[in-house]
Structures are given as structure tokens and as C-alpha cells.
Amino acid sequence: MSENAFVLLLRRALMLLLVLAPWPALAQERPVDMLFMRPHLSSLPAGAELTYRLERTTSDTARLGEPFGDDIKLLVRSVAAGGGRDIDLRIFTGDRAREVNAITDLTGNPLLVIFLDRAVINMVRLTGGNAPYLKDRLRSSLRDKAVSETTKAEFEGKTLDATRIVVKPFEEDANAERMLGYQGSQFEFLMAEGAPGMLLDMKSHFVSTLADAPKLDERIFLKSSSALP
């Protein structure tokens, strides 16, 4: 994907993926608002760097490739006058590395978009389904079906107040019978206001009810943070 196309994807996903509504009071906040309306990057100063880790495991390497883990780095280059962050996004290392994406005036955490984009791609690969349809179901389910609970999370030696959000977008879907048993696939998000970038952990779990169908798990979690001079 070209740099311009990736930047456009991020902006569309963070700004237009869901119908925008006024940000409600915290006590009334819906899971979807936490994911898409919060200014996740607001606590990060210029020079801050977040390192996320993506881990992928599968039961069928012939079909879905070898398991792997790699880093994704988010560097805040500057803070815009309106509060947005100008960032460099470095996805993967070594042979997997993509070109650095420079994105301006960003408030939401782009790791959310990367996670959701990979979730749709994985579902397409497992089921042969239509990507726009699956993306729409994921979008609407995050808005209407996601559930949340308060919890605690650990990061860099600190215990943080956190929220766990869980959604199963394809359960009871009109086209569930076409999903080769993967309609129960689940996506989980762990968020903490006190964590840099707010997104601590995101997991996707693909398992089929059909015998011998491959299992696939992907996880993106915050590995470390630092403030660079």
C-alpha cells in the first residue's frame, strides 16, 4: 500500500468509519465512543515513542503462513496548534518493514485502524467473504453490539484503571452460514486512560465450528513507551 493510500485509510477510518456523535460524559460513554471518539494521543509530547508488538499464531502454516512477531513504532514528531499529533509510523522491521508513514494532525491512535484492517483481511482469507460486507458488519457491531467492563491492567510496573471491550460481529449474521463456521470470531480491546496512547492490548480470535478448520489469533499490544529528547 502506498504512503498516500495508507494515510487516507487512517483518516477515513478514524473520522468517517462511524457516524460521529457528541462525546458523552464518561459515565455514559459507549464502547464505540471510547474507541473512535477519544483523543488517544493527547497525553503524548513531542518526541514520545510507543512500541507495539504484533503477534500472529495459526494452526495451519501451509494455508495461513508461519507464525511471527514484529514491532510497530509510533513516534510523535510534533504537537499541532489544535492538539493533534504529527507522527511517524514505522510498521515492522527487517524484510517485513514498510516505508515510514508520516501522518499529520492525528488525535486517534492509528494502531486501532491497523488492527481492524487486519481483522477484516484475516476474515476474508479464512472465509472467502466479501471485504466491504465484513467491514460493514464489524463497523456496525462495534457501534451496536460491543460490550464493556471495567478492569485493571498492568503497564510498566503500574496498575491502571482500564476497560475491556468485546465484540462478536458475525454472530446471528444473515450470512452466517457462508462464513465456514467462523461466525463466532471475537475481537477484544483493552484500554486505559492512564496508558500512553490509551490502547494497551487488542486481540482477534478466529476459530471455526467446522472440523479441521484452521485457528488464527492475532494480538497487538503496547510493549514499551519512551520520551525521546
How confident is the model over 127-148, as pLDDT tens digits? 999 999 999 999 999 999 999 9
What residue numbers bound the domain in which 90 lies? 3-227
Query: What is the band of 167 on the pLDDT scale with cuts at 50, 70, 90?
Result: very high
Q: Look at 75 and 13; give whichever has higher pLDDT.
A: 75
Q: Work out the end-to-end distance of the chain between its first and last CA atoms, rounded to an integer number of angstroms.
A: 31
Overall domain count for the chain: 1
Please determine, for residue 210, whether its predicted confidence score (pLDDT) is greater than 80. Answer: yes
Which cell goes with 189? 480491546
Residue 113, C-alpha cell as written in the block: 485502524
Which pLDDT tens digit goes with each residue over 77-126?
999 889 999 999 999 999 999 999 999 999 999 999 999 999 999 999 99
- 63 Cβ partners below 8 Å, 6+ apart? 214
Q: What is the CATH number of the domain that holds 24?
A: 2.40.360
pLDDT at 26: 40
Q: How far apart are CA 104 and CA 82, in angstroms?
A: 11
Asked if the model's pLDDT at residue 75 lies above 80, the reply is yes
186: confidence class by pLDDT, cuts 50, 70, 90: very high
pLDDT at 228: 53
pLDDT for 135? 95
- What are the pLDDT digits (tens) for 9-50? 554 544 444 333 333 334 458 999 999 999 999 999 999 999
Whole-prediction pTM: 0.87
Lookup: cell for 93: 522491521
Report the distance separating Cα 27 and Cα 81, nearest Å. 29
Q: For position 29, what pLDDT does the model report?
A: 80
Q: What percent of the chain has pLDDT over 70?
A: 86
Rounded-to-integer distance, Cα 219 and Cα 161, Å:
21
Whole-angstrom Cα distance, residue 142 to residue 187? 10
- pLDDT given for residue 157 in this prediction: 93
